[in-house]
Structure 1
Amino acid sequence: MRNLTELAERGADRYGTRPAFRELGPDRAVHEYSYRSLHDDVVAAGTALLDQGLAGGHVAMVGEASYAYVVCYLAVVCTGGVIVPLDKELTDAELADLIVRCDADAVLYGDELHADIAGILAHCPRVRLTVNISRYAPESHRPGFDALLARGRQLLAAGDTRFAEVSIDPDAPAAILFTSGTTGPSKGVMLSQRNIVTVIHSAFSLFRFPRVCLSVLPINHAYEFNLNVLGCLFDGITLCFNDSIMHVRENLGRFRPEMSLMVPMIVEALYKNIWKEAEKNHMTGYLKYAVALSNGLRTIGIDLRRVFFRPILEHFGGRLRVIVCGGAPLGPDVVAGLTSFGITVYNGYGITECAPLISSNCTVRSVPGSVGVPVPDLEVRIGEPDADGTGEIQVRGPAVMLGYYRDPVATNQAFTEDGWFRTGDLGHLGKRGALFITGRQKNLIILPNGKNVQPEEIEEALLGGIAYLREVVVHELVDQTGAPRIAASAYLDPDWVGGVGFEGARARFEADVAAVNQRLAAYKRVCLTNLREQEFEKTSTRKIMRHRVEGALA
């Protein structure tokens, strides 16, 4: 497979009537679309877009994960265009800014933007075509996706062959993905079809994908679209779309997937809910005993997890066996805990600029505490390692981006003089070749004594040692004397705070931080604390936007 046009053709030829996607309609009924239907609809939509003069054009798209979204994405890239997936959680002003920055000629949008689209486009004079791609939009909000398909089919029936005549340059820009902006302003990452196809092949060298997967992450992200959506299409897998982050557990039961790609916050919430329910039903002691017994039996080759923990596994649909977790490191206690129940969790690592996969634990090889071995076709090295072997993670290979759109300065800064991409992440390589992430270069705290402190290490210690701590950001803060200190801004379990009162919570938290400090080197200890009444602001993949954490204590 050399490009995404071949991906769509391959699916139709190999898998035909097999379900490619399942999604929920407004009535909560399940709608199913085959591989053959997908291919035919991509050709029809692509033909209609070509008829609008969009060959090679830039097309911004914003909306919910859906079959129509996938069709339109493929229709754009299979006609030589550049797709620009945007985050549906952005404000109107932010969307308008990115639509202008990416030079969009067209905007495809979900019905949730219907009331706002005119105001957004008032600031985007270049845009000449808009299409509401929600299949279930009210009649008054159409024509939309169905009209696009109907026009394409009409042209094809009349002998239009423009779609089939498109020649794809695998090294030309095919997608512009704006980074989430967790550490600063977002940048437009340009990926080619070669970048994307390389990652699809890499994923299938690591995992044995099952027959049914669940999509729960924002579809505009490379992690979700390139690995989950396109990865499933590559191997004839049925992908089921979750319609809301609030419905993950419900849809696990409805679609009964065997595998899902998630981020730590979702996995942790599902895991913690198991123990909350056990406590509610006065079953905590029994569950701990069952886990200990099951783990003991596994050491002598007897695996009864799916028998012992069937009621728990039913909360995940009963069939879920694998979770691939990316976006941030997942705590080893959660990995071990879910493994004890019969669900294997593979920690992976990637970055949008690498389309996005860099490394992952996998079916063949898994190293606890690591994010796995680098994928095939990608080289990883540690730049300027310190005495412990820790330095910046740098990568090279065919999955690495073309550059940042209209930003040659940032592009130049992103690469070393000898051509390696600088991830900005800190880590080291273990003896078995596995990669260990230790922090983010931009987050590094440099103390007056020259000591370097990685805040992620302290955050992990705090989260692991304080049960009621929900979120924490460790950062540098200047105290009243003007001296830089290590500070921890924290959000605690609101139910727990309600039980002990805010001042009681503050006193207990400070005492528990002091206890955790005793396990840390003196220069890594938290000196100042701040309790927040609300969660931290996050991206759509639930990453904390660290650069927006307040610089002063409340």
Structure 2
Amino acid sequence: VAVAIDKSLPDEEIVSLAKMGDTDVVFVSDQYYEKVKKKATRKVYNLKDFDDILKEGRKYLKEGKNEFAGYEIIPEKTAAILFTSGTSGVSKGVELTNKNIAFEIVHTSMLFSPKGGTLAVLPFHHAFGLVVAIFMIMNYGQPIFINKSLKHIKKNMEEFGPQTMFLVPMFVEYFHKQIWLEIEKKGKTKVFKRLMKSTDLLRKAKLDLRSKIYSPIRQVFGGNLEYIICGGAALDPMYVREFRTWGIEILNGYGATECSPCTAVNRIYHHKDGSVGHLVPGIEVKATEEGEIAFKGELVMKGYYKNPEATDDALIDGWYHTGDLGYVDEDNFIFLTGRKKNLIILSNGENISPEELEQDVARDDAVQEVLVYDENGRIVAEIFPDEAHLGDTEYFEKLKSKVNKGRPIYKQITRIKLRDEEFIKNASMKIIRYKNIPGMMPAIDKKEDAE
């Protein structure tokens, strides 16, 4: 059984998760060998260096040894334990079986035809970054280029020219912002927006000039990028539309570690803007009476490792309850409206989804990050602005009025707070609400954040 752990966690937490997963052997690259060795107890861990294992493996192949070739793979047996990276502050080990992972690879492979390789930028302890972005591409026999580090993404894209990339919304938003900043620097914003409208109209008339007109934008990604499969969090449909205009299709998907992870995804010729995707083959979906999205089928986890109470809470009659609110339309496309546990319940009984307000605020280019929450009955939008708007209260008061326009009074933002540093995030680059909202304490929730 493989137990995947985030290398960026504090040393104590790495050791704690390794113990929680009952690990016998820790595989580390040379870069982290000494760090882990200092914290590990010999009674618990037998450390191996990756380079040594690779050398040993090559030696085995050369000598013709094949004792592992006949190893029996039992479909129902646990293959991996992946720790949830939700925002409630309590990690749980998700047990994925051989069948779960194989089912995910086969069924997601039916939806795409990747060619020309991909650049892997998501962490391998992340179910999306491992099962979909690595295993699925391996199933196609296509090359995978491993990103050296986040600061090398631009350089690596230029070097490898990937055709497909698997990203979380943070990356899409970052690339989008950088592209528009370059356009603004050249004083071409109005001209470029008119050009985008024109090319969209021409495309509707079956005249597609995007590859020629937007070639400089495609060069930012190495020149070959055709598809971005995006998951891990909600993505504003505006990004999908604008990237499509530039000739790059964003296929928004949805899932959870507990579902191996992908349960829905938009296809190249079968998509709906604003949706997190169409249900993948072989899995069932429903929205409960409360509006919570739930899944059932071969993708759903075996359970939480050594945590029967959490398993019973999450799996009800075989249905995994995601904690996400939304609905399923008549074509089996899934739409999300918010998080069940994040709902702001006002004293008048009205419910507000903070994600709805956050999405509208985040559309402004001056907003890097935003978090909406209730503070003594007032709806607060706390904003981390871009460098040019740090401390610019007047600008954000105008933005508040713009966002509130046309909204019911109970859904209006009543206060803006500005901050000068990023919000604390988890490994999936989601803002951890309880660590950022004043006075909010971590609580054990029935559901972890869907990935």
Fold equivalence (TM over 0.5): yes
For residue 291 of structure 1, report the CA deviation from its aligned partner: 1.3
Cα distance change on mapping 1:537 and 1:112 into 2, 3 Å? farther
Q: 1:279 aligns with which of 172, 184, 188?
A: 184
Is residue 2:362 matched to residue 1:463?
A: yes
Cα distance change on mapping 1:552 and 1:126 into 2, 3 Å? closer
Query: Secondary structure of 1:439's partner?
Result: strand
- TM-score, normalization: structure 2? 0.93
Greater C-alpha radius of gyration: 1
Contact 1:290 1:308 survives alignment (8 Å)? no
Is residue 2:370 matched to residue 1:472?
A: yes
Partners of 2:288 and 2:438 in 1: how far apart?
30
Equivalent in the alignment of 1:132: 49
Equivalent in the alignment of 2:404: 517
For residue 487 of structure 1, report the CA deviation from its aligned partner: 1.9
Q: 1:146 aligns with which of 54, 70, 94?
A: 54
Mean Cα deviation higher: 508-517 or 95-104: 508-517
Partners of 1:147 and 1:346 in 2: how far apart?
39
Query: Secondary structure of 2:306's partner?
Result: coil
Equivalent in the alignment of 2:331: 432
Mean Cα deviation higher: 166-175 or 510-519: 510-519
Is residue 2:288 matched to residue 1:399?
A: no
Deviations 1:63-85 (A, max 9, x none): xxxxxxxxxxxxxxxxxxx0011
Is residue 2:33 matched to residue 1:114?
A: yes
Is residue 2:14 matched to residue 1:95?
A: yes
Query: Secondary structure of 2:275's partner?
Result: coil
Deviations 1:124-155 (A, max 9, x none): 7322x21121x4xxxxxxxx23343256347x
Q: 1:236 aligns with which of 127, 137, 141?
A: 141
Query: Secondary structure of 1:276's partner?
Result: helix
Partners of 1:378 and 1:150 in 2: how far apart?
40
Equivalent in the alignment of 1:546: 433
Equivalent in the alignment of 2:349: 450
For residue 348 of structure 1, report the CA deviation from its aligned partner: 0.5
Query: Secondary structure of 1:116's partner?
Result: helix
Query: Secondary structure of 1:358's partner?
Result: strand
For residue 246 of structure 1, report the CA deviation from its aligned partner: 1.6
Superposed counterparts of 1:58-457, under 5 Å = 82-122=1-41, 125-127=43-45, 129-133=46-50, 135=51, 144-149=52-57, 152-153=60-61, 157=64, 161-385=66-290, 391-416=291-316, 418-457=317-356
Query: Secondary structure of 2:383's partner?
Result: strand
Cα distance change on mapping 1:161 and 1:316 into 2, 3 Å? closer
For residue 359 of structure 1, report the CA deviation from its aligned partner: 0.3
Equivalent in the alignment of 1:43: none
Partners of 2:189 and 2:305 in 1: how far apart?
53
Deviations 1:227-250 (A, max 9, x none): 111111111111111111122222
Partners of 2:352 and 2:283 in 1: how far apart?
29
Contact 2:177 2:365 survives alignment (8 Å)? no
Query: Secondary structure of 2:34's partner?
Result: coil
Partners of 2:9 and 2:205 in 1: how far apart?
52
Partners of 1:180 and 1:83 in 2: how far apart?
17
Partners of 1:272 and 1:461 in 2: how far apart?
16
Aligned residues: 440
Mean Cα deviation higher: 374-383 or 542-551: 542-551
Which amino acid in the other structure matches residue 22 of structure 2?
A: D
For residue 271 of structure 1, report the CA deviation from its aligned partner: 1.3
Identity of aligned residues (%): 36
Equivalent in the alignment of 2:419: 532
Equivalent in the alignment of 2:382: 489
Partners of 2:360 and 2:190 in 1: how far apart?
25
Deviations 1:173-215 (A, max 9, x none): 1100001132331110000010001111111222222231111
For residue 476 of structure 1, report the CA deviation from its aligned partner: 2.1
Partners of 1:451 and 1:547 in 2: how far apart?
22
Cα distance change on mapping 1:237 and 1:153 into 2, 3 Å? closer
Equivalent in the alignment of 2:395: 508
Partners of 2:106 and 2:408 in 1: how far apart?
43
For residue 280 of structure 1, report the CA deviation from its aligned partner: 1.3
Partners of 2:425 and 2:292 in 1: how far apart?
25
Query: Secondary structure of 1:327's partner?
Result: coil
Contact 2:240 2:273 survives alignment (8 Å)? no
Partners of 1:147 and 1:209 in 2: how far apart?
31
Which amino acid in the other structure matches residue 125 of structure 1?
A: K
Contact 2:373 2:437 survives alignment (8 Å)? no
Deviations 1:267-295 (A, max 9, x none): 11111111111111223233223212211
Q: CA RMSD in A?
A: 1.7
Partners of 1:148 and 1:537 in 2: how far apart?
41
Equivalent in the alignment of 2:448: none
